[in-house]
Amino acid sequence: MKRVVVLVEGQTEEALVDEVLAPAALARGVHLAPVIVITSATPAGARRGGGSWRHYDMRLRNLFKASHLHRVGLLIDYYQYPRGAPGCDVGGSGPARQSELMARLHKQYPDSRFRPLVVLHEIEALVLAAIDAGRGEGLIPARGLTRLRREIARAGGPERIDHGPSTAPSKRLLRADPGYLKTVTGPLLVAEAGLSAVLARCPTFAAWWEDLLS
């Protein structure tokens, strides 16, 4: 069985990989596991997620040393792309800048197994896709769902929902439901919608997913 790991930046991504992506990968003969970046360690324990790029760099280089791994993936948000990351000073916006960021990542880490994805614009785009697919009733207030679906349609799809302090996907979800739990509600909605329905609405993520499992 192929063994694949995906380095993720936070607990939301970790939960989505564990609860949604890993079971789908297993059905295709791939053992998929998330590895969450550790940004610091204190006597109280490790602090996980976010932080500067050096923590990702260290973890990636260690993963590339594992010869038994078939693929080494990376999931990182376009919004708040880490300081110090390859291409962080690249100008532009949207898919064009996303492509350039991923090109810079490949150049920095030329291992043939490396499969990075700079997610447009946050991993919560998958949750918006699940909502667009008809999920969310009973979990998100009806008025909030209506507004989110209208915003998705206006943008032209979940991956086109823009980034910013007040317009990023995660911020829109919190506006729709102040009680929204990123690590609970999000993965639950994606699982309920089904991965195929979500991927159909997130073509960039879908292309990365197929490449990761190939």
Residue 98 confidence (pLDDT)? 95
User: Which residue, among 201, 48, 187, has the nearest Cα to 120 in the 3D structure?
Assistant: 201
Confidence of residue 202 (pLDDT cuts 50, 70, 90): very high
Residue 30 confidence (pLDDT)? 98
pTM above 0.85, yes or no: yes
**At residue 4, does pLDDT exceed 60?**
yes
Domain range for 70: 2-122+202-213
Residue 44 confidence (pLDDT)? 46
Structure tokens at 11: 């607990």
pLDDT by residue (tens digit) across 148-192?
999 999 999 999 998 888 899 999 999 999 999 999 999 999 999
| Chain mean pLDDT for the chain | 93
Confidence of residue 52 (pLDDT cuts 50, 70, 90): confident
Contact between residue 124 and residue 182 where contact means Cβ atoms under 8 Å apart = yes
Do 73 and 154 lie in one domain? The reply is no
Query: What is the mean pLDDT of the segment spanning 81-109?
Result: 94
Do 136 and 150 lie in one domain? The reply is yes
Do 153 and 65 lie in one domain? The reply is no
pLDDT by residue (tens digit) across 73-83?
999 999 989 98
Query: What is the mean pLDDT of the segment spanning 132-156?
Result: 96
Confidence of residue 42 (pLDDT cuts 50, 70, 90): very low
CA distances from 55 to 39, 75, 131, 162 (A): 6, 14, 33, 27
Do 177 and 83 lie in one domain? The reply is no
163 or 44, greater pLDDT:
163
User: Which residue, among 110, 136, 71, has the nearest Cα to 152 in the 3D structure?
Assistant: 136
Do 180 and 77 lie in one domain? The reply is no
Residue 165 confidence (pLDDT)? 85
Structure tokens at 145: 């769902």
Residue 166 confidence (pLDDT)? 87
Do 75 and 143 lie in one domain? The reply is no
Do 113 and 12 lie in one domain? The reply is yes
Do 118 and 140 lie in one domain? The reply is no
Number of separate domains in the chain: 2
| Distance between CA atoms of residues 151 and 15, nearest Å | 25
**At residue 43, does pLDDT exceed 70?**
no
Beta strands per DSSP E along 21-109:
30-36, 38-42, 45-48, 71-77
